[in-house]
Structure formats: C-alpha cells, structure tokens
Amino acid sequence: MGTYYTLANFTRRERIEFAGVSGMKAAEIVANPQGAVIAAWYMLTHTDDDIAFVPDDRPFRGRPAYETDLSNFHDVTDEIVEQLIRNGDLTDHGTIQDGTDPVLKYRILRVRNRPPPPRDKL
C-alpha cells in the first residue's frame, strides 16, 4: 500500500492533505506538478516555521505521538489551493467523483504554463 505523507506545519498547527489534489505517496506528490507547486509554495511562504512531510506509518523525528497527531491540525489545503488559483499558479478544472467511494472527490488542477524568463534574466 505504501507510505502516505501529510505536509505539517508544527509552528502554526496546520496541515496540507494531498489526497484530493495529487496523491499522498512521495512519488505522487513529487511527480504531479500540482502537489509539487502546493508543497513548494507553502514551504517558501512559511520559511521560519517548523514544517515537514509526516509519514503515516512510523514515528516521526523522535516527537511524542501527541505532537504528530495531525487530526488536531487545521487543514489548510483548500485555502492554499484557492490562493494559488487566485495567484494564477494553478487553474481549476472542476472535480471528479471517486468510482469506488461516493464520498471522495478529486480536484482537477493544472499548473499554469508560464513562459520561461528571458535568457538575459537567468
């Protein structure tokens, strides 16, 4: 089944869940531009915070279990996605229903194609 990851901000007690936007396994987060944009943008805009990808299947960085119980962290996934859409970094193409679970929906997000910077600006 594999290890699932949540991006946790221990300073603000916030979390980002990738399940509905790109996939929760490491390879899914990295390989899907949507997940990579969400993670990178969040981490770059919170550089002074204690942020990490927390695995679901083992203890994390020697922290007590109560510190890695992310169910009490505020889920900011939708807020961050909406901000990235407003910024023009992501475009929203609706949702699709999971074929096996009537409750699960997945957002169809695309990374906005931006032209590369001029060569003299590299």
Report DSSP state, residue 46.
-
pLDDT tens-digit map of 47-84: 999 999 998 887 676 676 667 788 889 999 999 999 99
pLDDT of residue 107: 80
Percent of the chain with pLDDT over 90: 41
26 and 5 in contact (C-beta within 8 Å)? yes
What average pLDDT does range 87-94 have in this prediction?
Answer: 88
Q: Confidence class of residue 95 from pLDDT cuts 50, 70 and 90?
A: confident
Q: Indicate the average pLDDT of the chain.
A: 84
What Å distances lie between residue 13 and 58, 68, 86, CA to CA? 20, 10, 24
d(CA 78, CA 20): 10
The predicted pLDDT at position 94 comes to: 81
